[in-house]
Structure 1
């Protein structure tokens, strides 16, 4: 039986007032202070401060090499920072190790530019992998071994990204847009409180990128998930972010609500 049939279907450097109020109320999901990171003699991050309030969607922009991706990875300690502090969902991540660090990371989804699907496995099995953040083992790896309730949830996640009819297909037979939708469904399966997305539609053509980005933002807002995403697409940053943070040569040069910002003004970040 086909799987789809079996499981149907302000000022620079200042937070905007709404975000400041949330942060003051203890609802700041990410607080980065004085973050520094070097690779050899190259200082990539030079004392960066960023705060993201619960429920916000913040666009991180800047030229290649300015430190955007490094900042995201330092916030999860996928890359160890050299200095500064990161408070993630109310916990100082630098103080955590082992099981405590894994538990915190389990609450944070990460959507990559290149999708990172397992090519030989079905779309449904790839979505099921989001369960590993909450519960490991073979039942979270192959959908035939999974509990019925987990398969149903994975199918629901695929339905939400419009791919229930592709559940049985191998990941390596999907288009780029479909693959990124599966990656988003996998992030939903994780049930995250916060999602980092690193150039989530950069590998897609413009039409597919627009469609997937709109879907992604709508799902994050529907779930009330806090979002920090990097983008070179200034129109996406303005359309889908509540706030813009810009980096240049490893330093924060702009932190402002998107309302009232213009494409021409933002181009100066890349000068």
Structure 2
């Protein structure tokens, strides 16, 4: 995995980080009406493995019993019927032991998967996730081109058919850090052009840097001289059709997980970078 892919992975998970941490902070003890387990995980169309974090909702955080999860996790492809029993591992998350179940099977596009966390008595938490279509994304200019500060990157998504949301992000390096700007874009039916104007490098400079820095430069084509590196990154995340509504992300008790809480959904993500011409 390249450094840019790692950066995107962090970006993709950022939207769910507050939810994950928030749920963990409220897990002990929770009324049993909330269900058996909390589930947090994403199935991606990128290379695996994937992990699903599971927490017993009726065990206090930090207790010794939190280190033992007497349950079996199974992931089933509802199209092919392929079922996989997931392997558990314990990882410390913010100092608290958490159970991370590993998924090894190849995740397919436009496919629904069922996750089942079952206790020995047969009682279970259930969740489903549908992955997005394997949309083709045409990007211009081509990767070999060096682009000017005024020039933008255009993304054309094909084979999406208005099924879900796409988040597009632009990144630039300044003061040793990679700064991102993000916006959610709803894809209408048919082919759609994104980022035709908003992802010109000079516009990203305006969004990610303080105004006092770029306002002293009188020509927009010179804004990129403020950057540490002559690299512009555009990243996107294509969410599956059952990505949780904002109400669910803001209020975990509205979760669609059956007999439990959390988020389980499908996504696709990718990054592309272009070399910028920084000549003043």
Q: Bin the TM-score by the shorter chain.
A: under 0.3
> What TM-score do the two structures reach when normalised by structure 1?
0.25
Question: Highest relative contact order (Cα 8 Å, sep 6+), 1 or 2?
Answer: 1
Higher-helix-fraction structure: 1
Higher-strand-fraction structure: 2
> What TM-score do the two structures reach when normalised by structure 2?
0.24
Task: Report the structure number with the largest CA radius of gyration.
Answer: 2
